[in-house]
Structure 1
Amino acid sequence: MDWDHFRVFLAVARGGQLSAAARRLGVNHTTVARRLDGLEAELGTALFERRPTGCVLTEAGERLIPLAERIEIETRAALAAVSSGETEITGTVRIGAPDGLGNSFLARELGLFAAQHPGIIVELVPLPVKFSVSRREADLVIELSRPTTGRLVATRLVDYTLGVYAAESYLANHGIPASLGDLAGHRLVTGIDDYTYSSALDYAATLQAYSKRLYRCAGATSQFEAISAGAGVGVLHDFMALGAPTLVRVLPEVSFSRTYWLIGHPGATSIAAIAACRRYLVETFRRQRRHFQPLAQSRVSASPETDGLGSDFQ
């Protein structure tokens, strides 16, 4: 059975359309349709319901996904082993991460990893969205909560803290809030509910109970820039805010704790480039653990995860 047929099958399953699969694979629409027809003929069953709006997996297609993914992983591992031999590790690794962490920390740290492994192409995607490892949107994903479904491997990287901040210029014009009740006279910078991709991002609700004057920005990076520019008061990651000399931490009694988790596909550990990147990330976060908890403060919202670092599950 031709591996290309499985490759096309996975591309259609992940993209939901023949045209999307064709763009991803760099072939034309007709080639995708022909190879998909060939695979369905060999298996004697339909793998998709082809609708005007896209392709929907049938029950047979759903059952084929885990097998096709194992073939994909083993093929990638075999190619990497042949091309790299016993010397340099080669391959491409895509890492999805929250934008705040990705832009302020991972961009630098993964740059060091890339310098150490010139044969590995590192693709960092720091966006305020939820990535799917199963759909191969990324090889490794850093998330804000431990997944409860799916055949995945999760490693707890580090707990991090957040606090309430405002720019010196804003406080000079509007005064320093001495309590949560004082926020009624201040503008709050928060996220946008429609673009909140994780329940772990619910900390802004604590402040919104005290003020209805809001400026909403999607993503931690845009909120950081807005607060730094004097747009208002808001919750920021301590490891981001403490590096900005014009930001002032207010309401020191208000602190939040959350957790970063590293998520990957269990079969991908056999791919040397992905395994090397995973080890580097785990070691880096453990070595720089104090960077993510720079202040010892009382917490009004604790992380729902309480077990130790480095726990894995499948």
Structure 2
Amino acid sequence: MAGQFDWDDLQSFLAVARSGRLTLAARRMGVDHTTLGRRLQSLERALGANLFERHATGYSLTAQGESLLASAEAMEGLAMTIMEDLAGSSGSLSGAVRIGTPDGFGSFFLAPRIGQLAARHPDLEVQLVAMPRLFSLSKREADIAISLAQPDAGRLHGRKLTDYELGLYAARSYVTANPPISSVADLPGHRFISYIDDLLYTPELDYLPQISRDIRPQLKSASLVAQFRAVEAGAGIAVLPCFLVDGHADLVRLLPAEVSLIRSFWLLIHSDLRHLSRIRVTAEFIAEEVRRNSRLFRP
């Protein structure tokens, strides 16, 4: 028969479910792994259920564990809401919010503006993680994620931020030192910079086949920021977002009438967190900054 369980045990369950490893979850919770292991065993005894399959490579949820996960996350969200309501009587925003974004959007657009949010709310800790990867909100890798695709599953709330335009760019030094480009047919003879094929974290970044299947990039990087720096140094041509190039007069757009790609940014929040004030205010700040700077995304 199921018995009572401790809230700490449920938090331990969530930490292991999200990380998949006992030692990593213990480190994040600030306890040793033996203590965490005992909490999991205590929870399983109280519920009369096996919640994890133990493997040499880590922990995976059983069917019973999957069933508990949604309820545990809802309880966690409710607990955070209660804590915020009790602590927020002063009206000030506090706590930490982690924003996971693609490296280009995070480094070139959001980073120069995020200080305004911090200035408005001195007790708010803003964590900006700008990396070329997908962020799992269910594993709490971020509180807010900026994605190139809308969510197709899970307990996520998504809103479209904006469409944005991409084009072909090269440094003026590259253009003057190489054969002229008057049409797409001239592109395969030039040096291109692009993504590493097996490190593409989302299909929306696979641009070049839409332009010409004869282009063979010579320089590749998983980082859009690195690609931009290589273009800036005159190393070759790359597909770059227009907002990233804005203000860089030394870069030239090539074949704008022939090569114009459109992608979208989506703002995603886990449904259990969307009502928290710090999450809501941060999300609205990002959306408002995108609205105010719409010309950057669709010049």
Shorter-chain TM-score: which interval? Answer: over 0.9
| Structure 1 residue 91, shift from structure 2 partner | 1.1
1:275 is matched with: 280
> Hey, what's the Cα distance between the residues in 2 that align with 1:34 and 1:113?
41
1:191 partnered with 2:192: no
Contact kept in structure 2, 1:180 and 1:210, CA below 8 Å: no
Superposed CA deviations along residues 231-261 of structure 1, whole A, max 9, x for unmatched, are 1111001111132121111111210011100
Q: 1:133 aligns with which of 132, 137, 142?
A: 137
Question: 2:267 is aligned with what amino acid?
Answer: L
* Pair 155,146 (structure 1): closer, same or farther in 2 beyond 3 Å: same
Superposed CA deviations along residues 62-115 of structure 1, whole A, max 9, x for unmatched, are 001111111111122222222232321111100000000000011122221111
1:263 is matched with: 268
Show the 5 A alignment for 1:88-237.
88-207=92-211, 209-237=213-241
1:87 partnered with 2:91: yes
> Which deviates further from its counterpart, 115-124 or 171-180?
171-180
Contact kept in structure 2, 1:188 and 1:208, CA below 8 Å: no
SS in 2 for 1:176: coil
Contact kept in structure 2, 1:153 and 1:263, CA below 8 Å: yes
> Hey, what's the Cα distance between the residues in 1 that align with 2:212 and 2:85?
53
Question: 2:289 is aligned with what amino acid?
Answer: T
Structure 1 residue ranges, 4+ long, deviating more than 4 angstroms after superposition:
none
What's the C-alpha RMSD, in Å, of the aligned pairs?
1.2
1:298 is matched with: none
| Structure 1 residue 207, shift from structure 2 partner | 4.2
Question: 1:284 is aligned with what amino acid?
Answer: E
> Hey, what's the Cα distance between the residues in 1 that align with 2:217 and 2:277?
51
Unaligned 5+ segments in structure 1 are 295-314
> Hey, what's the Cα distance between the residues in 1 that align with 2:296 and 2:244?
10
> Hey, what's the Cα distance between the residues in 1 that align with 2:276 and 2:211?
45
Contact kept in structure 2, 1:152 and 1:264, CA below 8 Å: yes
State the aligned residue count: 294
Question: 1:266 is aligned with what amino acid?
Answer: S
| Structure 1 residue 38, shift from structure 2 partner | 0.6
* Pair 152,174 (structure 1): closer, same or farther in 2 beyond 3 Å: same
1:254 partnered with 2:259: yes
Question: 2:287 is aligned with what amino acid?
Answer: V
| Structure 1 residue 187, shift from structure 2 partner | 0.7
| Structure 1 residue 213, shift from structure 2 partner | 4.7
* Pair 50,245 (structure 1): closer, same or farther in 2 beyond 3 Å: same
Q: TM-score, normalised by structure 1?
A: 0.91
Superposed CA deviations along residues 276-308 of structure 1, whole A, max 9, x for unmatched, are 1112122222222222111xxxxxxxxxxxxxx
Contact kept in structure 2, 1:165 and 1:247, CA below 8 Å: yes
Superposed CA deviations along residues 177-217 of structure 1, whole A, max 9, x for unmatched, are 11111112211101112121111112122345233252111
SS in 1 for 2:201: coil
Identity fraction in percent: 44
SS in 2 for 1:244: coil
Contact kept in structure 2, 1:142 and 1:263, CA below 8 Å: yes
> Hey, what's the Cα distance between the residues in 1 that align with 2:96 and 2:69?
22
Question: 2:119 is aligned with what amino acid?
Answer: A
Contact kept in structure 1, 2:184 and 2:212, CA below 8 Å: no
1:292 is matched with: 297
1:17 is matched with: 21
> Hey, what's the Cα distance between the residues in 2 that align with 1:88 and 1:184?
56
> Hey, what's the Cα distance between the residues in 2 that align with 1:88 and 1:74?
20
Question: 1:275 is aligned with what amino acid?
Answer: R
> Hey, what's the Cα distance between the residues in 2 that align with 1:36 and 1:191?
42
> Hey, what's the Cα distance between the residues in 1 that align with 2:246 and 2:181?
19
Q: 2:54 aligns with which of 45, 50, 55?
A: 50
